[in-house]
Amino acid sequence: MSFTDRPMLSTAKKIGCVAYTGIGTLLVLFGLLGAAMGDCADGADTSCKHGTFWLFPGSLIVVILGGIVMLWLFTRNGRD
């Protein structure tokens, strides 16, 4: 079976992919901005214990894994 023999995604699935990409991009950029600004003030006060991992690299990992799962679900009927 060649790649061209596979069925295309429906219009609703294409819109879902575009929406997921747009929302995921905004989420990751917001996390990048938050990680760049920092969540704690510099100084002797170390009472702030929030980690910035989930702001940028964590959110990017979650969006990529979500995209992989979404593509797997959208194309599973075409693989059978």
CA dist 22 and 19 (Å) reads 5
Q: In the numeric block, which tokens belong to residue 2?
A: 């060649």
pTM: 0.69
Has residue 24 been placed in a domain?
Answer: yes
For 18-43, what is each residue's pLDDT tens digit? 999 999 999 888 888 877 776 666 66
Has residue 27 been placed in a domain?
Answer: yes
Has residue 16 been placed in a domain?
Answer: yes
Has residue 63 been placed in a domain?
Answer: yes
Band of pLDDT at residue 56, cut at 50, 70 and 90: confident
**C-alpha 77: how far from chain center:** 23
Contact 53, 30 (CB under 8 A): no
| pLDDT score of 51 | 63
CA dist 55 and 40 (Å) reads 13
Amino acid at 29: L
